[in-house]
C-alpha cells in the first residue's frame, strides 16, 4: 500500500510533468524520486523523465543505473535512457558493457544493453564485437538473433558496411559467416525480454493490471493528451 507521502507525490507528478513541458529545468525535481523505494512512484517518475525528453537527465540516470542491482529497474532505466536525446550515448554506456555489470549471469540486462547500443549507429559495431564476440562465454548469454539485430540496426541495415567492418575484426567475421540477417530495420527485439515484462514485475509488487496501466498511460486521458504533445514536441 502506498504511504500518504507517495500518494501525494504521485498526485503531483502530472502537474510537474505538465509544468516541465513549459519550463525544461523542472525535470530536476523528478531526479531524486528516480531512486524511490516505492514501485509505483519510481516507475511513474521514470516514465515521466522519458516523456519529457530532457537530455540533461541522461548522465544522472546513468549514475543511478551504475548503482542499481535489481534487474527490472536496470531495464526500466535503460528504457528511459533510450527515450532521452543525447549526443553520444556510447561513451557513458559502453563502460557498463565493458565491466560486465551483468556478470552475475543476468542475460536480460546484457541483452537490453546490447540492443540499446545497437540504436547508436555504426560506431557501436566495433565495440559490440570487441567486448562481446571476443569473449565466448559472454556471447553465449545473448541470443544470436538479438545481437545480429543490434549490429544490423547499428549499420542502418547496410550489410556492406557490416562486411567491411568484419574484415578488420575476426570475431565479427566469424559471427557474420552464414548469418541470417533481419530483412528490414523494423526491430523484432527490444530492451525488455517480453512486451509484458514490466507489467509482470508490477503484479509481483502488488499492483493490479488496472493500476499499472493507470501509471503507464495516464497521459492518454482526456485532461492531458491533447494539450501536452505539442508542448513536449516543441521542447525537443
| Residue range 62-120, pLDDT digits in tens | 999 999 999 999 999 999 999 999 999 999 999 998 765 444 458 899 999 999 999 99
Asked, for residue 42, whether it belongs to a domain, the answer is yes
- Same domain membership, residue 70 and residue 116: no
- Same domain membership, residue 167 and residue 95: yes
- Same domain membership, residue 149 and residue 178: yes
- Same domain membership, residue 68 and residue 17: yes
> CA-to-CA distance for 18 and 11, rounded, in angstroms?
12
- Same domain membership, residue 170 and residue 227: no
- Same domain membership, residue 79 and residue 4: yes
Given this model, what pLDDT does residue 8 score? 84
| 78 φ/ψ angles, rounded to the nearest 5 degrees | -60, -40
Is 22 a residue whose pLDDT tops 90?
A: no
Q: 10: pLDDT confidence band, cut at 50, 70 and 90? A: confident
Q: 15: pLDDT confidence band, cut at 50, 70 and 90? A: confident
- Same domain membership, residue 231 and residue 160: no
> CA-to-CA distance for 133 and 125, rounded, in angstroms?
11
Grid cell for residue 98: 565493458
**Residue 207 CA neighbour count, 13 Å, CB half:** 22
Asked, for residue 55, whether it belongs to a domain, the answer is yes
Q: 183: pLDDT confidence band, cut at 50, 70 and 90? A: very high
Tens of pLDDT, residues 29-66: 899 999 999 999 999 999 999 999 999 999 999 999 99
- Same domain membership, residue 20 and residue 58: yes
Is 219 a residue whose pLDDT tops 60?
A: no
Given this model, what pLDDT does residue 14 score? 81
- Same domain membership, residue 126 and residue 174: yes
Which helix (H) or strand (E) segment holds residue 120: the answer is: none
* Nearest alpha carbon to residue 78 among 44, 115, 122: 115
> CA-to-CA distance for 108 and 120, rounded, in angstroms?
19
Q: Which domain holds residue 173?
A: 90-196
Given this model, what pLDDT does residue 40 score? 93
Is 233 a residue whose pLDDT tops 50?
A: no
- Same domain membership, residue 107 and residue 174: yes
- Same domain membership, residue 192 and residue 98: yes
Q: How many domains does the chain have?
A: 2
Given this model, what pLDDT does residue 12 score? 81
Asked, for residue 201, whether it belongs to a domain, the answer is no
The pTM of this model reads: 0.86
Mind spelling out the 3-state secondary structure of the chain? CCCHHHHHHHHHHHHHHHHHHHCHHHHHHCHHHHHCCCHHHHHHHHHHHHHHCCHHHHHHHHHHHHHCCCHHHHHHHHHHHHHCCCCCCHHHHHHHHHCCCCCCCCHHHHHHHHHHHCCCCHHHHHHHHHHHHCCHHHHCCCCHHHHHHHHHHHCCCCHHHHHHHHCCCHHHHHHHCCCCCCCCCCCCCCCCCCCCHHHHHHHHCCCCHHHHHHHHHHHHCCCCHHHHHHHHHHHC
Alpha carbon separation from 182 to 139, 155, 159 (Å, rounded): 19, 12, 10
Given this model, what pLDDT does residue 153 score? 97
- Same domain membership, residue 59 and residue 25: yes
Q: 186: pLDDT confidence band, cut at 50, 70 and 90? A: very high
Rounded mean pLDDT, 159-173: 95
Rounded mean pLDDT, 149-175: 96
| Cα end-to-end distance, the chain, whole Å | 36
Amino acid at each position: 500500500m502506498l504511504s500518504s507521502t507517495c500518494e501525494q507525490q504521485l498526485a503531483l507528478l502530472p502537474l510537474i510533468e505538465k509544468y516541465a513541458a513549459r519550463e525544461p529545468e523542472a525535470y530536476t525535481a523528478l531526479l531524486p524520486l528516480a531512486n524511490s523505494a516505492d514501485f509505483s512512484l519510481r516507475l511513474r517518475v521514470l516514465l515521466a523523465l522519458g516523456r519529457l525528453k530532457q537530455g540533461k537527465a541522461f548522465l544522472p540516470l546513468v549514475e543511478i543505473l551504475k548503482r542499481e542491482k535489481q534487474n527490472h529497474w536496470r531495464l526500466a532505466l535503460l528504457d528511459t535512457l533510450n527515450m532521452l536525446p543525447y549526443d553520444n550515448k556510447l561513451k557513458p554506456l559502453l563502460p557498463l558493457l565493458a565491466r560486465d555489470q551483468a556478470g552475475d549471469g543476468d542475460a536480460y540486462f546484457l541483452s537490453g544493453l546490447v540492443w540499446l547500443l545497437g540504436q547508436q549507429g555504426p560506431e557501436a559495431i566495433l565495440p559490440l564485437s570487441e567486448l562481446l564476440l571476443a569473449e565466448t562465454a559472454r556471447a553465449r548469454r545473448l541470443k544470436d538473433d538479438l545481437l545480429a539485430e543490434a549490429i544490423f540496426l547499428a549499420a542502418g541495415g547496410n550489410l556492406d558496411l557490416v562486411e567491411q567492418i568484419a574484415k578488420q575484426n575476426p570475431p565479427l567475421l566469424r559471427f557474420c559467416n552464414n548469418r541470417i540477417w533481419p530483412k528490414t530495420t523494423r526491430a523484432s527485439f527490444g530492451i525488455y525480454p517480453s512486451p509484458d515484462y514490466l507489467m509482470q514485475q508490477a503484479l509481483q509488487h502488488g499492483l493490479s493490471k488496472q493500476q499499472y496501466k493507470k501509471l503507464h498511460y495516464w497521459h492518454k486521458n482526456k485532461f492531458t493528451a491533447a494539450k501536452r504533445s505539442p508542448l513536449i514536441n516543441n521542447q525537443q
